[in-house]
Amino acid sequence: MFDIIVVGAGPAGLTAAIYGCRAGKSVLLIEKSGFGGQMTNSPKIENYPAFTSVSGTELADRMVEQVMAQGAEVEFAEANKISKTENGFLVETDNGSYFGDSVIIAVGAKHRRLGVPGEDALIGNGVSFCAVCDGAFFAGQEVCVIGGGNSALQEAIQLSENCSAVTVLQNLDRLTGEGKLIEAVLSSPKIKVIYGAAVTEFVGKGELSGVKYTVNGENLLLPVKGAFVAVGLIPEAGRFAEVIATDNYGCGIADEGCASSMEGIFIAGDCRTKTVRQVSTAIGDGACAALAACKYLENR
């Protein structure tokens, strides 16, 4: 039996483990693939305080070192189910089951990919999922945004502040986001929308040089070095909807202190309902969730 079981070892989970251990609690960290989560896909992070520029892998390595030094136990397994027991919670994984007095869900989210050639190879080298993270790398240049919903429109507006031009490639014949965002996009002199545009390939060797797409069967190429894919987010918390309340997108609903609808379960990072998904906000959540879990354990 552990005091705290943390599911997911991205920045939120790693921070939760550090805070839990430092509060003298026994902590088990369960991770299904590799330490560090999404940030390990980023070769350059330039908005994390104290580092002018750092690779996501290096940042993750430093966090992991700190977690290990604090004495957290680690299990590499995929958590499939969390259920309430008489005294706490049972976390079932593909490699055994673990009991915890409390659980912190920090399983993050995945950006939906287009699944076209060149996408995987060029992520972090021109293909991005986050204007806040990577927009500054393309200041003064032309970029494109793929998608037409709220996230895509927000990305386009944000990019238009520093980029010379933004082309929105939308596969439908209309934009599907909120009216105000659509208005802002359509009235911006820097943003152009191409409707009925189906992206077929990201082109480039080592770095992006263009985006191939079709409109009405015609093959076209947009020569950009930055392409922002904004076609949806897949939060990983949805699979635990039996024990925690989730929103329509599958994000776990939590209060400011990261407490979920189930007493004793806390939700931290990108997998919870929130508007800003960054390393710094995930870390803030990890700290809040662990401290809230400690308080819960002490008052029970």
Structure tokens at 123: 């992520």
Active-site pick, 133, 144, 163, 294: 133
Compare residues 2 and 185 and give the one whose CB is closer to ligand FAD. Answer: 2
Compare residues 108 and 126 and give the one whose CB is closer to ligand FAD. Answer: 108
Compare residues 22 and 112 and give the one whose CB is closer to ligand FAD. Answer: 112
Is 288 an active-site residue? no
Phi-psi region of 285 (alpha: psi -120 to 50; beta: other; left: phi over 0): alpha
Compare residues 9 and 243 and give the one whose CB is closer to ligand FAD. Answer: 9
Compare residues 14 and 211 and give the one whose CB is closer to ligand FAD. Answer: 14
Find out whether 12 and 272 touch, Cβ atoms under 8 Å.
Answer: no
Active-site pick, 101, 134, 270, 285: 134
For binding to ligand FAD (CB under 6 A), which residues are involved?
A: 7-13, 30-33, 37-39, 41-42, 45, 47-48, 78-79, 106-109, 111, 123-124, 129-130, 133, 236, 269-270, 277-280, 282
Is 130 an active-site residue? yes
Type of residue numbered 236: E
Q: How far is the CB of 240 from ligand FAD (least distance, A)?
A: 8
Task: For residues 244 and 117, give the distance between their C-alpha atoms in angstroms, rounded to a whole number.
Answer: 37
Task: For residues 141 and 280, give the distance between their C-alpha atoms in angstroms, rounded to a whole number.
Answer: 27
Q: How far is the CB of 49 from ligand FAD (least distance, A)?
A: 10
Is 133 an active-site residue? yes
Long-range contacts of 169-176 (CB under 8 A, 24+ apart): 169/144, 169/145, 169/194, 169/197, 169/199, 169/211, 169/213, 169/222, 170/194, 170/195, 170/196, 170/197, 171/196, 171/197, 171/198, 171/199, 172/148, 172/196, 174/148, 175/148, 175/149, 176/148, 176/149
Q: How far is the CB of 75 from ligand FAD (least distance, A)?
A: 9
Find out whether 283 and 252 touch, Cβ atoms under 8 Å.
Answer: no
List Cβ neighbours of 58 (8 Å cut-off, separation of 6 or more): none
Q: How far is the CB of 160 from ligand FAD (least distance, A)?
A: 19
Q: How far is the CB of 31 from ligand FAD (least distance, A)?
A: 5
The strand ranges marked E within 36-112 are: 73-76, 79-84, 89-93, 96-105, 109-111
Active-site pick, 130, 144, 271, 288: 130
Give the active site residues.
130, 133-134
